[in-house]
Amino acid sequence: MSAEKVIGEDSGLVTVIQRVGMVARSNAPVLLFGETGTGKEVVARLVHQQSGFRHGPFHRVNCGAIPPELIDSELFGHEKGAFTGALSQRQGWFEQADGGTLFLDEIGELSLAAQVRLLRVVQDSEVVRVGGERAVRVKIRLVAATHRDLPEMVEARTFRDDLYYRLAVFPIVIPPLRDRLGDIRAFAEYFARRASDRFGLRAVAPSDEDVRMLAEYRWPGNVREMSAVIDRAVLLGQGRTLEVSAALGRTVPPRTTPSAPDAARALPVVIAPLDEAIRLHIEAALAETHGRVEGKDGAAHLLRVNPHTLRARMRKLGIRWATFRPRVRPDDA
């Protein structure tokens, strides 16, 4: 069980855990709402693990990452010769998840045409492969998720109301990290330990001051962003300290006074120079990709820049990719 499944279950995620318990044993579709990085996949896996489908597979599909022309083939499969390049029969994600759970992440990114075809599968529990005629029956637990406002999209007619009502049988809203301040310390401790192990550095626990700075930050990227920030703090500290202030891009941590009538009494935030902010951002990407620069799992792909451009910027800033490769500690040799 990962830390995200434990952290907050008795505090910031109490309501979410309760609702998971209510719906997990049924076969009702679940629709997860939450900002990017709040842990929607973690909650989807909790639903799967507590359901009657837990012995089957769990498949996550990012609907926003599939080109529109490949949606049908990816979700429903295709027959050999159905289109140019279809050299063999392929089972789609619905068939691959048969007997288990299919997690459709970012469901709000599907085109209207794809929504029509998805609705049929949700209603009938049958799929027809592209180029095929025979319906294939599937038995799955369907969990969908989005960071978008689906009711608003329904009003704007960019998301089908009939599909929305089918999916939203049991909605669960996952709160953002800024509303889970009681979980900040536990997340920081877990991510610091994990980063230290990954980078072969001595573990340093976050101090009260570190936790205060982390709690004051707004976390637009939520838990995912916090993981990257703590990775950066661990790397900057090199096993001696946890450089939370620098990892957040601050030279002076902001202080807020709860009783202050306005922000005038707070100390000003000192903005780091642009090169330093860029350096921290590149280092965060390298930490996330374990020092890999190129390829689909590389920092350049994560930052959406050309690998040659990234290497040139790294040379200019004196960033060495090898620093971010996990190191073996002497006692592990």
| One domain, residues 150 and 54 | yes
Q: What is the CATH number of the domain that holds 216?
A: 1.10.8.60
Lowest mean pLDDT across 38-47, 167-176, 203-212, 273-282 = 273-282
User: Which of the two residues, 204 and 5, has the higher pLDDT score?
Assistant: 204
Residue 41 has pLDDT above 60, yes or no: yes
Q: Stretch 148-162: mean pLDDT, rounded? A: 94
| One domain, residues 129 and 267 | no
pLDDT at 326: 63
pTM here is 0.72
Let me know if 2 is exposed, middle or buried by CB neighbors in 10 A (0-12, 13-18, 19+): exposed
Supply the DSSP string of 80-92, one letter for each residue.
Answer: TTSSTT--S-EE-
Q: Kindly report the CA angle at 204 between 190 and 297, in degrees rounded to 5?
A: 55
Domain holding 123, by residue range, is 3-175
Residue 260 has pLDDT above 80, yes or no: no
Residue 265 has pLDDT above 80, yes or no: no
Residue 219 has pLDDT above 60, yes or no: yes
Rg (CA), the chain: 23
Residue 32 has pLDDT above 90, yes or no: yes
| One domain, residues 169 and 252 | no
Residue 149 has pLDDT above 90, yes or no: yes
Of 128, 158, 175, the residue that ends a domain is: 175
pLDDT at 6: 54
Element (DSSP H or E) covering residue 278: helix 274-288
| One domain, residues 152 and 74 | yes
Task: Render pLDDT for 305-328 as a digit per residue (tens, 0 to 9).
Answer: 888 888 888 888 888 887 777 654
* Amino acid (1-letter code) at residue 171: P
Residue 297 has pLDDT above 70, yes or no: yes
Residue 330 has pLDDT above 50, yes or no: no
| One domain, residues 89 and 200 | no
- In the 8-state DSSP scheme, what is residue 55? T
Residue 73 binned pLDDT confidence (cut-offs 50, 70, 90): confident
Q: Kindly report the CA angle at 197 between 192 and 203, in degrees rounded to 5?
A: 50
Q: How many domains does the chain contain in total?
A: 2
Task: Show the DSSP H helices in 13-149 as ranges.
Answer: 14-23, 40-49, 71-76, 93-96, 112-124
Task: Render pLDDT for 241-250 as a digit per residue (tens, 0 to 9).
Answer: 999 999 998 7
User: Which of the two residues, 290 and 190, has the higher pLDDT score?
Assistant: 190
pLDDT at 272: 55
pLDDT at 255: 42
Query: What does DSSP say about strands 30-33 and 141-146: parallel, antiparallel, or unpaired?
Result: parallel
Of 175, 196, 223, the residue that ends a domain is: 175
3-class secondary structure per residue, 173-188 = ECCCHHHCHHHHHHHH
Residue 132 has pLDDT above 90, yes or no: no
pLDDT at 327: 53
**Residue whose C-alpha is closest to residue 133's, from 86, 79, 85, 92:** 79
Residues of the chain by 3-state class (helix, strand, coil), percent to 5:
50, 10, 40
- Can you name the residues that pair with 103 across neighbouring β-strands? 60, 143
| One domain, residues 49 and 162 | yes
Residue 150 binned pLDDT confidence (cut-offs 50, 70, 90): very high
| One domain, residues 271 and 184 | yes
Write down the mean pLDDT value for the chain.
85
Lowest mean pLDDT across 60-74, 246-260, 277-291 = 246-260
Q: Stretch 66-70: mean pLDDT, rounded? A: 86
And the tokens for 95? 């068939």
CA separation for the pair 196, 201 (Å, rounded): 5
Let me know if 242 is exposed, middle or buried by CB neighbors in 10 A (0-12, 13-18, 19+): buried
| One domain, residues 84 and 149 | yes
| One domain, residues 94 and 38 | yes
| One domain, residues 236 and 259 | yes
Residue 259 has pLDDT above 60, yes or no: no
Cβ atoms 278, 286 nearer than 8 A:
no
Lowest mean pLDDT across 37-46, 87-96, 110-119, 168-177 = 87-96
| One domain, residues 166 and 230 | no
Residue 160 binned pLDDT confidence (cut-offs 50, 70, 90): very high
Q: What is the CATH number of the domain that holds 170?
A: 3.40.50.300
